[in-house]
Amino acid sequence: MKKAQVSVPFQWMYVLIAGAVILMLFITFVSRQKDSSEKQLSIEVTQKLNNIFTLTAQSTKTFNPQRMSPAELHFSCDKDDVSQYWIGKGSPESIETIAVFASSRIPIEKQLDTWTWPFDMPFSVMNVMFLSSPTITTFVVYDDEPFSETIRTKMQEDFPGEFNVIDIEIDDFTNERGYSLSTPLVRMIYLTDIQQLPPRIQRMPDQNVLAVRIGSERTATYYKKQGNQLIEDEAVAIIQTLDDPNPAFYGVFFSQNAEFYQCTMRKIFKRMSLLAGLYEARADEMKREYLRNNQRECELLVDPDLFRQLKQMIDSCDGGQSCLGQIERASEHISQRSAIISNQGCATLW
Amino acid sequence: MVKGQVQMTETIGIVIVFSILIVFALLFFSRIQQNSADQQRTLVAGEKAVSISFSALFLPELECSKIGSDDIKDCIDVLKLTPAADVINENPQYYFKLFGYSTISIEEIYPVQDPTHTWVLYSRTRDSQPPTEFTQRARTPIPVALYNPVTGDYAFGVMTIDAY
C-alpha cells in the first residue's frame, strides 16, 4: 500500500473520532443543562410553595388564588405523622408544623387555591389551610332533608365563591343534568345517602375520584371508588370549635381520606397541647403577679389546672367522639372562666 | 523535516489548541453555573429569613390576646415570654421545623433597657456553637409592643431574627 493510501483513511478516522468527541461533549452539555434546569425549576416552585405555606398560614380568613406554573403537587400525611409535599418527581419537603387539608394529588394548570381559617379552641392554635385547584371539581350533593339544607346554608355563608364547587340535587347529579365535567379530578361531598355514580364519573380512573358522606356535623365517612361503585372506607369524628365556621368540619371536605384528615388533626392537637402547657405556665405567672400586686380576687380566679387538664385530655385523645367531646367541654370551661375573669377587670386567660 | 512529520505536528497542534478551547469553554460554563447557584442560594436564604420572621412574629406562643379585637398586631404578651422559651426548649425538634437555623430574641428598649429585659426564645446554629459576631447571618429587626396584661403596661421592644 502506498503512503497516500494510508494517510487518507487516517484523516477520515481522525475526523470521525474528533466529530464523535465533539458530539459527545454537546450531548453531555445539553443533558446536564436539561437536568439542572429541571432541578432549578423544581427548587424554585418548592421555594415558592414554602413561602406560600408560611406566609398564607399567617394571614387568616383569606382566600388566595396563587398563580403557578403547571405542575403536579403531591401530599402525604400518614399514621406516623410524617407530613410532606413534593412536586412531580422532586424531593419531598416537610410540612409537619402546618395544618394543610388537601387531596394527595393536586394537578395545577396555572392556579393553586388556598383558603385559611383560624383554629381557636378557645385560644388561637394555628391557621388551618385548605388547598384545591380549578382542576378539581367539587360536587356538593344534597336532597330536600333539613340536614342538607342546614349544611348548604352554612357553606354558602362560609365558603369562598372562587372554589370550583357545584351545588347539585342528587337526582340531577346521578342523571348528569345541568353540569359539565372536564376536570381530571372529582370530589363528591354527599349530604345525603349515596346512590349510583353518574356514568361519566364511573368511567374515570378510581384514583381520580374522592368521596365523603357527611353524616352529621360530628361525623363523616370516606368512600373509595372501585369500578362503577363507591365502597365505604373509614369514618372520622369531627371536633366542634367554639366559633363558626369550624375548620375541622371543612377539613373533611378537602382531605384525601380518613388517614389524611386524622393526621392533619393530630398536627393541630400537637400544637394545641404545647400551647395548653404554655398557658398553664402563664396562668402560674399571672397568679404570682396578682399576688405581688395584692389583687387577691384576680389571683383566686386564675386557675392553671384548667390548662393542665386540657393538655392531659389532648395528649390522651385517640381522635374518638368521646375524647373530642371532653376537649370541647374543657375548652368551653376555660372560655367561660376567662370571660368571668375579664368581667372582674382581670386579664384574660390567653 | 519530512512532509508527513509536518502534517503530524500540525495535527497535534490543532488537537492541543482545540483541547485548550474546550477546557476554557468548560471552565467558563462552570463559573457561570457556580455564580447562578450562589445567587440562587442567597435568594433562597433571604426568602427563608423573611419566612422565619413571619412565623416568629405571628406565633400564637407570643401574640397578645385577640379577644374582642382582630387588629392587635406586632404585640407580644410579656407573660408568655418565659413559658414560651421553656416550651420551645422542651420541644426542640418541633420548633426547628418552624424556625430552622436561626436565633429569635426580644429586647425591651423603652422604658427600661437592661439585660434582664432580654429574652432569647430560640437559638440553633449550623455548627451547634453559640453564634459569634463572625457568624454569617441575615438579620431582621422588628419593632414590637410588649404588653403586660396584668398591669396593663406597654413597653417598646425589638424582636430580632437572625437566620443562618
Cell numbers linked to A128? 388551618
Q: Where are the alpha helices (DSSP H) in chain A?
A: 3-56, 146-158, 170-174, 199-202, 247-254, 258-292, 296-301, 305-316, 321-343
Q: How far is B6 from chain A (nearest CA, A)?
A: 13
Q: Looking at beta carbons, which residues of chain A come within 8 Å of B86?
A: 278, 281
Closest CA to A195 of A220, A176, A179, A178: A176
Length of chain B, in residues: 164
pLDDT-above-90 percentage for chain B: 38
Average pLDDT over residues B68-75: 66
Q: What is the pLDDT of residue A137?
A: 96
For residues B91 and B53, is the Cβ–Cβ distance under 8 A? no
Residue A1 confidence class, pLDDT cut points 50, 70, 90: low
Task: Find how far residue A159's CA is from the centre of its chain.
Answer: 15
Cβ neighbors of B4 (< 8 A, separation 6 or more) are: A3, A7
**B94 in contact with A, Cβ within 8 Å:** yes
Segment (H or E) for A224: strand A219-226
Please state, in angstroms and rounded to a whole number, the distance separating the CA atoms of residues A73 and A210.
16
Please state, in angstroms and rounded to a whole number, the distance separating the CA atoms of residues A111 and A277.
39
pLDDT in tens, A79-120: 778 899 998 877 888 898 999 999 999 999 999 999 999 999
Q: What is the pLDDT of residue A30?
A: 85
Q: What angle do CA B56, A43, A259 make, to 5 degrees?
A: 70
Residue A2: pLDDT over 70:
no
A288 backbone φψ class: left, alpha, beta (φ>0; ψ -120 to 50): alpha
Return the higher-pLDDT residue of A45 and B113: A45
DSSP letters of A69-89? Answer: -SEEEEEEE-TT--EEEEETT
Residue B70: pLDDT over 70:
no
Average pLDDT over residues A305-321: 96
Please state, in angstroms and rounded to a whole number, the distance separating the CA atoms of residues A84 and A73.
11
Residue B71: pLDDT over 70:
no
Average pLDDT over residues A176-186: 92
Residue A18 half-sphere exposure toward CB, CA atoms < 13 A: 14
Please state, in angstroms and rounded to a whole number, the distance separating the CA atoms of residues A264 and A1.
82
Q: What is the pLDDT of residue B95?
A: 95
Residue B68: pLDDT over 60:
no
Please state, in angstroms and rounded to a whole number, the distance separating the CA atoms of residues A220 and A57.
26
Average pLDDT over residues A51-75: 85
**B3 in contact with A, Cβ within 8 Å:** no
A199 backbone φψ class: left, alpha, beta (φ>0; ψ -120 to 50): alpha
For residues A197 and A230, is the Cβ–Cβ distance under 8 A? yes
Facing A282 at nearest CB: one of B40, B83, B98: B83
Q: How far is B150 from chain A (nearest CA, A)?
A: 6
For residues A139 and A164, is the Cβ–Cβ distance under 8 A? no
The amino acid present at A12, given as its one-letter code, is W
Cβ neighbors of B129 (< 8 A, separation 6 or more) are: none
- Domains of chain B by residue range: 39-163
Cell numbers linked to A108? 395545577
For residues A281 and B82, is the Cβ–Cβ distance under 8 A? yes
- DSSP single-letter state for residue B37: H
Interface probe, candidates B36, B58, B87, B91, chain A, greatest A C-beta count within 10 A: B58
| Order of all β-strands in the sheet with A209-214 | A165-169, A136-142, A185-190, A209-214, A219-226, A229-237
Q: What is the pLDDT of residue A273?
A: 97
Please state, in angstroms and rounded to a whole number, the distance separating the CA atoms of residues B28 and B34.
10
Q: What is the pLDDT of residue A151?
A: 94
Decide: pTM greater than 0.90.
no
Cell numbers linked to A143? 336532597
Beta-carbon separation of A124 and B83 below 8 A? no
Q: What is the pLDDT of residue B66?
A: 64
Q: What is the pLDDT of residue A266?
A: 95
Please state, in angstroms and rounded to a whole number, the distance separating the CA atoms of residues A132 and A65.
10
Q: What is the pLDDT of residue B88?
A: 96
For residues A255 and A132, is the Cβ–Cβ distance under 8 A? no
Cell numbers linked to A80? 406516623
Residue B134: pLDDT over 70:
yes
Residue B13 confidence class, pLDDT cut points 50, 70, 90: confident
Q: What is the pLDDT of residue B138?
A: 87
Least confident span in A38-42, A105-109, A111-115, A249-253? A38-42
Q: What is the pLDDT of residue B136?
A: 83
Rg of chain B over all Cα atoms, to the nearest angstrom: 28
Residue A69: pLDDT over 80:
yes
Please state, in angstroms and rounded to a whole number, the distance separating the CA atoms of residues A253 and A335.
28
Mean pLDDT (chain A, rounded):
91
pLDDT-above-90 percentage for chain A: 68
Average pLDDT over residues B59-72: 74
Average pLDDT over residues A187-209: 95
Return the higher-pLDDT residue of A305 and A82: A305
Return the higher-pLDDT residue of A93 and A256: A256
Residue B38 confidence class, pLDDT cut points 50, 70, 90: confident
Q: How far is B99 from chain A (nearest CA, A)?
A: 10
Residue A153 confidence class, pLDDT cut points 50, 70, 90: very high
Residue B5: pLDDT over 90:
no
DSSP SS3 for A2: coil
Q: What is the pLDDT of residue A80?
A: 79
Closest CA to A158 of A129, A117, A204, A113: A117
Cell numbers linked to A281? 405556665
- Domains of chain A by residue range: 266-343
Residue B122: pLDDT over 90:
yes
Burial state string for A154-174 with b = 16 or more CB within 10 A and e = fewer than 16: bbeeebeeebebbebebeebb
For residues A322 and A333, is the Cβ–Cβ distance under 8 A? no
Beta-carbon separation of B87 and A274 below 8 A? yes
Interface size, chain A vs chain B, as Cβ–Cβ contacts under 8 Å = 92
pLDDT in tens, A223-246: 999 999 999 999 999 999 998 899
Please state, in angstroms and rounded to a whole number, the distance separating the CA atoms of residues A44 and A38.
10
